[in-house]
Amino acid sequence: MIPLSLQEVAAITGGALHGIDAPAAAAMMIDGPVVTDSREAGEGGLYIARVGEQQDGHRFVGSAAALGAVAALTTRRVDDLPCVVVDDIQAGMAALARAVVDRHPDLTVIGITGSSGKTSTKDLLASVLAASAPTVAPVGSLNSEVGVPLTVFRVTAQTRYLVVEMGARGIGHISYLTTMAPPLIGIELNVGTAHVGEFGSREAIAVAKAELVQALPPAGLAVLNADDPAVRAMAGLTRARSVLVGTSGDAAVRAESVELDASGRPTFTVVVSGAGAGATSTAQARASLPLHGEHHVGNALAVIAAALECGLDLDFTVRALATATPASRWRMEVTERPDGVTVVNDAYNANPDSMRAALKALVAMSRTTDGTPRRTWAVLGSMLELGDSSTAEHDALGRLAVRLNVSRLVVVGDVARPMATGAQHEGSWGDEAVWVPDADAAYELLAGELRPGDVVLVKSSRDAGLRWLGDRLADRDEDAT
């Protein structure tokens, strides 16, 4: 973090010092990690004692001190470390995060939101920008009211770009996140049905997602998916300039001639018109992505638009994209087993849009150079937070698997069971589509039937836990602990 004295932390958060006097607090510098997990504490750092549903962070102040933390942010007095006592930990974190951003005038903040693809796009953009200048981006999917400030706290005086993933489970959530990390560039990927059970409708989700571009200043840029009508309409909701990206003919940053290799990795021509971010005339380049699935093309176009706005040129950006590697686990994570089986573990999260994209990627990966298709397995678990539409959405995914000619569908768990029913109604028969009660049953089935050349997709919502099944299938049991 940008160094701050403990006295400054108290002033920023409106807290009271305990266990240290004012002169000593003014001399004590916080220049190490700022964390909410005591196990991640380090020399010169600040430990934030959050109180959760199951744990009270105040119990672990001593553990943080043992690892080098020099102070704590708390809601009550503790004696293990000097502390700043505040009424509300979340408000304190938010104020501290905003102070870090405000004290770094050369920092460019880029916000990313969407119903799906946020983390993959964040990883791509961070990789591209880091090739140009010091960049901070979330670890994994830290995109909440806690994750955003934790990401901001990693900013140092050398950081040039801050990439912030912004999630929402209700109206006003993204707006709140932008108060902590005010973006200059906002990327709107899509408006889907993720969390529709909480929002109530896709229209409400669009309202929530639009809060990102509404927070942009007039000098900012809104990067909008031209292929999603709900996102395209956000151009009228922002004070900032906007640039359309996608495959639509009027997209200023456009993909043409998209091709997939035998592993489902896309190559395409990116065309940037004079209206594109940072572009003064039409330019084009051939881009290749190391990621699997055609859906990553749209993510890459958003990254290109943001990179151009940051002053990177097109050729540099395309080269950086070609070498980008996924930084977050369980997102189209491909493992080639020694026996010739390919495991695609995309089970960090799932919603109807990302499920459809993953199934299409699975089919693309079944193609071979000699024209002989590989056998495909879709091992699918529940999509959560879909509300009243849950049964219909699961049913539709099962039907889609049949229409895409997926060889075998293994449906895991009670919530996902309508997928198997939908597949059978669509025309699947015999054991092409089966339902199993849990991940162990799925593993036993697959262990006995997989053969060299098979491609296995494992996908579900995070809480369904199929990412651990994916690790078992990929012989990565050490991660499952």
Residues 199 and 110 reside in one and the same domain: yes
In a domain, 228, yes or no: yes
Helix (H) or strand (E) holding 288: strand 283-288
- Report how far residue 80's alpha carbon sits from residue 97's, in angstroms, rounded to the nearest whole number: 24
- Report how far residue 12's alpha carbon sits from residue 108's, in angstroms, rounded to the nearest whole number: 22
Q: Note whether 160 and 106 are within 8 A (CB).
A: yes
CATH value at residue 443: 3.90.190.20
In a domain, 96, yes or no: no
Residues 70 and 118 reside in one and the same domain: no
In a domain, 93, yes or no: no
Residues 47 and 126 reside in one and the same domain: no
Decide: residue 22, CB within 10 A, 0-12 exposed, 13-18 middle, 19+ buried. Answer: exposed
The conformational region for residue 330 under phi > 0 = left, psi -120 to 50 = alpha, else beta, is left
Q: What is the DSSP string of 456-472?
A: EEEE--GGGTHHHHHHH
Residues 186 and 295 reside in one and the same domain: yes
At which of 56, 86, 116 does a domain end? 86
- Report how far residue 60's alpha carbon sits from residue 47's, in angstroms, rounded to the nearest whole number: 9
Q: What's at 150, amino acid-wise?
A: L
Helix (H) or strand (E) holding 35: strand 34-35
In a domain, 91, yes or no: no
In a domain, 327, yes or no: no
Token pair in block for residue 394: 């699961």
pLDDT by residue (tens digit) across 282-319? 899 999 998 888 889 999 999 999 999 999 999 999 99
Q: Note whether 437 and 311 are within 8 A (CB).
A: no
At which of 86, 117, 136 does a domain end? 86
- Report how far residue 428's alpha carbon sits from residue 408's, in angstroms, rounded to the nearest whole number: 9
Full-model pTM:
0.84
- Strand partners of residue 285: 270
Per-residue pLDDT at 457: 96
Q: How many domains does the chain have?
A: 3
Q: Note whether 391 and 418 are within 8 A (CB).
A: yes
Q: Note whether 269 and 285 are within 8 A (CB).
A: yes
In a domain, 156, yes or no: yes
Longest Cα pair distance anywhere in the chain, in angstroms? 77
Residues 344 and 455 reside in one and the same domain: yes
Q: Note whether 308 and 290 are within 8 A (CB).
A: no
Residue among 182, 236, 290 nearest 299 (CA): 290
- In the numeric block, the tokens 């020694």 are attached to 338
Residues 352 and 298 reside in one and the same domain: no
Residues 312 and 367 reside in one and the same domain: no
Classify the C-alpha dihedral 18-41-327-52 as positive or negative.
Answer: negative
3-state secondary structure of 252: coil
Helix, strand, coil percent content, the chain, rounded in steps of 5:
40, 20, 40
Q: Where do the DSSP E strands lie in 401-453?
A: 408-412, 433-436
CA 125 to chain centre: 11
Per-residue pLDDT at 47: 98
Residues 273 and 364 reside in one and the same domain: no
The one-digit pLDDT tens for each residue of the chain (481 residues) are: 899 999 999 999 999 999 999 999 999 999 999 999 999 999 999 999 999 888 999 999 999 999 999 999 999 999 999 999 999 999 999 999 999 999 999 999 999 999 888 988 999 999 999 999 999 999 877 889 999 999 999 999 999 999 999 998 889 999 999 999 999 999 999 997 666 667 778 899 999 999 999 999 999 999 999 999 999 999 999 999 999 999 999 999 999 999 888 778 899 999 998 756 555 568 999 999 988 888 899 999 999 999 999 999 999 999 999 998 766 777 788 899 999 999 999 888 888 888 998 898 899 888 776 667 889 999 999 998 888 889 999 999 999 999 999 999 999 999 999 999 999 999 877 789 999 999 999 999 999 999 999 999 999 988 888 999 999 999 865 444 3
- Report how far residue 251's alpha carbon sits from residue 271's, in angstroms, rounded to the nearest whole number: 9
- Strand partners of residue 459: 380
Find all residues with CB under 8 Å of 12, minimum gap 6, and list them: 4, 95, 96, 99
Residues 78 and 116 reside in one and the same domain: no
Rounded to 10°, the helix 390-403/352-365 angle is 10
In a domain, 461, yes or no: yes
At which of 322, 349, 378 does a domain end? 322
- Report how far residue 269's alpha carbon sits from residue 309's, in angstroms, rounded to the nearest whole number: 19
CA 440 to chain centre: 28
- Report how far residue 155's alpha carbon sits from residue 468's, in angstroms, rounded to the nearest whole number: 32
In a domain, 310, yes or no: yes
Residue among 297, 342, 372 nearest 450 (CA): 342
Residues 218 and 270 reside in one and the same domain: yes
CATH value at residue 109: 3.40.1190.10
Residues 289 and 426 reside in one and the same domain: no
Rounded to 10°, the helix 296-309/118-130 angle is 40
- Report how far residue 390's alpha carbon sits from residue 384's, in angstroms, rounded to the nearest whole number: 8
What residues make up the domain containing 423? 333-480
Q: What's at 203, amino acid-wise?
A: E
- Report how far residue 433's alpha carbon sits from residue 444's, in angstroms, rounded to the nearest whole number: 16
Residues 247 and 297 reside in one and the same domain: yes
- Strand partners of residue 187: 112, 223
